[in-house]
Structures are given as structure tokens and as C-alpha cells.
């Protein structure tokens, strides 16, 4: 999308005004120092691989999250039979690079999967995620069969009391969530918490039993150890499927944190929204599952 065309649209204007105050024109956030840990890293201006490395450096290194010999689950968005340029799925270069880095810090195995909306093998292939994961030595695991899922209780859930969850979520030592930032017709945005609908079997239950509450309820069962939001290419409308590259802007951004609520809250700013504009962010904060109040966080801003 040409910049002049992007500016003509209302969403383009709101995105640009939303990005400016969040990034603030600073290379790093004031008050990030040796005595204060970084709660969230926000990187802009580079390629996916470089932005990930910068974010991990700010958070203390990937080896802070993965010990030698541990198994890792990487959960991108691979829901749609669409090429990378439509930004319906997570950037394949980012996913492959994360797999590579996991092995470099000593992971014994790295598995990648999603319960896709379109035919799973076509989604894996045409998103190019399968290609980059295999090149990095990772394993693509199907999510299309109910036998892969086991029912678990969600004791803190208000609408979601139990749910069938993919066995890798339950068995992996480390869980890395890698959603793509995009528009979504049902929830306004698809972010970190929304991406976890791809690890459960029955998504229809969510849609018929208070979608936003169910999304928030799930993370009371298991939060990812790390959430990386891919904002390299961002779908501004017609999500979540994505129908045209005309709906995509090359934002070149990435957000990373151990707090999935904080990452989602920060990502709303890049779309020109506020955290409370997305129902499940507000609910998860109220449930004590994370912090949406960005002013209370130590954010490391990095511009490449």
C-alpha cells in the first residue's frame, strides 16, 4: 500500500496517530536501567529476525526462558490458506528464526502447530511457515484431529469451565505465542490472547458463550511463557482471513513480553485503539491475569 493511499483512509490516519505517541521517537524508554527489569520490549524499523533479536536482548536473552534440553512449543497464527504478503498469518521468516534461536540456546525439540480454519496442509504450506520451520530444524505438528486434544478444567474461568487443549500445550516445557497483529471482524483485533483459540478444539463454544470472556478465561489455564506480536505487515481491515494486499501496511514492528495482556494492550496502540476497546484485554486485566496499564510498565522502546 502506498503511503499516500494509506493516509487517505480513516484507519490509516488513526494508525499513524496511534503509533506516534506509543513509540515517542525514542530509541529506548526513559527509566529503563540496570535496577529495573524490562516488562515489555517494543521494536520498530527492522526486519523480523533483527527485531526479534533486539527484543530478546532487551528482555534478558532467550536463554532466560529456555534451559538446555527443554521442549518448546511455538504457536504462530497459521489459520488461513494465504500467502505471507496478505498478513493473514504470522510472518514465516520470524517463525523460522524463533525456531532457530530456540535450538541455539539448547532446546531439545521445537514444535510448531495451529488448529487452522482452512485446510491445514495448505495453510502450513502456502503461509510458508512450514518451509521456514523445517529449514530451522523444527517440526510441524498437525492440529486437525480431535485425538490430539485432551479436556482440562479451567477453575478460574467464568464462561469457560473446561476445554479440550492440544497435547503440546500441556506437555511442552516452554510455550511461545507468536500471533500476527491484524484486524478481526469479531474482536476488532486479533492479538496474543485471541491467537490461543488455535490451541483448543471447539472454537464454536467461544462464539456462543461470550467470546471475549472465554478468550480471557483460557489464559487462566496456561499463559504462554513469552508472547511475540508480529507487526511487520499489518492487516488493517477485512480480517481475519485477509482478502487483498491493499489492506496491508508494512509497519515493521514487534512487541515482546512475558505478560500477554501487556503485549495485547501495547499492540492496540499501533492500531490507533486503546486497550479497553478490545473486550478480552479489559476482562483479563480485571481478572488479574496481566496488566493493561502501559504507564505502569517499564517499556524498552527500540528503533532500528
Mean pLDDT over 20-37 rounds to: 45
Which three three-digit cell numbers place residue 301? Answer: 522502546
Average pLDDT, the chain: 91
Ranges of each domain in the chain: 183-189+202-216+276-289
Whether residue 23 is predicted with pLDDT greater than 50 in this model: the reply is no
What mean pLDDT do residues 229-250 have? 95
Whether 7 has a pLDDT exceeding 90, the answer reads: no
Per residue in 43-64, pLDDT (tens digit) is: 999 999 999 999 999 999 999 9
Residue 276 reports pLDDT greater than 50: yes
pLDDT by residue (tens digit) across 97-109? 999 999 999 999 9
Question: Residue 35's pLDDT band (boundaries 50, 70, 90)?
Answer: low
Amino acid at each position: 500500500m502506498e503511503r499516500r493511499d494509506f493516509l487517505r483512509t480513516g484507519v490509516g490516519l488513526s494508525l499513524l496517530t496511534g503509533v506516534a505517541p506509543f513509540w515517542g521517537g525514542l530509541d529506548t524508554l526513559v527509566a529503563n536501567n540496570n535496577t529495573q527489569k524490562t516488562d515489555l520490549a517494543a521494536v520498530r524499523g527492522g526486519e523480523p529476525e533483527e527485531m526479534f533479536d533486539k527484543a530478546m536482548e532487551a528482555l534478558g536473552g532467550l536463554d532466560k526462558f529456555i534451559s538446555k534440553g527443554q521442549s518448546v512449543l511455538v504457536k504462530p497464527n497459521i489459520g488461513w490458506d494465504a500467502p505471507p504478503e496478505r498478513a493473514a498469518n504470522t510472518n514465516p521468516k520470524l517463525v523460522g528464526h524463533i525456531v532457530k534461536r530456540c535450538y541455539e540456546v539448547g532446546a531439545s525439540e521445537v514444535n510448531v502447530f495451529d488448529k487452522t480454519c482452512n485446510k491445514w496442509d495448505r495453510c502450513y504450506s502456502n503461509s510458508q511457515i512450514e518451509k521456514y520451520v523445517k529449514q530451522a530444524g523444527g517440526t510441524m505438528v498437525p492440529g486437525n484431529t480431535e485425538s490430539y486434544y485432551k479436556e482440562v478444567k479451567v477453575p478460574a474461568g467464568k464462561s469457560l469451565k473446561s476445554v479440550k487443549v492440544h497435547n503440546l500445550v500441556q506437555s511442552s516445557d516452554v510455550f511461545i505465542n507468536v500471533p500476527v497483529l491484524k484486524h478481526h471482524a469479531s474482536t476488532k483485533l486479533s492479538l496474543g490472547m485471541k491467537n490461543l483459540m488455535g490451541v483448543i478444539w471447539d472454537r464454536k463454544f467461544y462464539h456462543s458463550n461470550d467470546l471475549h470472556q472465554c478468550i480471557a478465561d483460557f489464559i487462566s489455564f496456561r499463559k504462554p511463557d513469552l508472547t511475540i506480536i508480529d507487526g511487520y505487515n499489518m492487516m488493517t481491515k477485512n480480517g481475519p482471513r485477509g482478502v487483498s494486499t491493499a489492506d496491508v501496511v508494512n509497519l515493521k514492528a514487534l512487541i515482546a513480553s512475558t505478560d500477554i495482556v501487556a503485549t495485547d494492550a501495547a499492540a492496540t496502540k499501533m492500531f490507533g485503539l486503546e486497550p479497553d476497546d478490545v473486550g478480552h484485554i479489559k476482562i483479563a486485566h480485571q481478572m488479574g491475569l496481566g496488566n493493561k496499564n502501559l504507564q505502569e510498565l517499564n517499556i524498552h522502546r527500540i528503533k532500528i
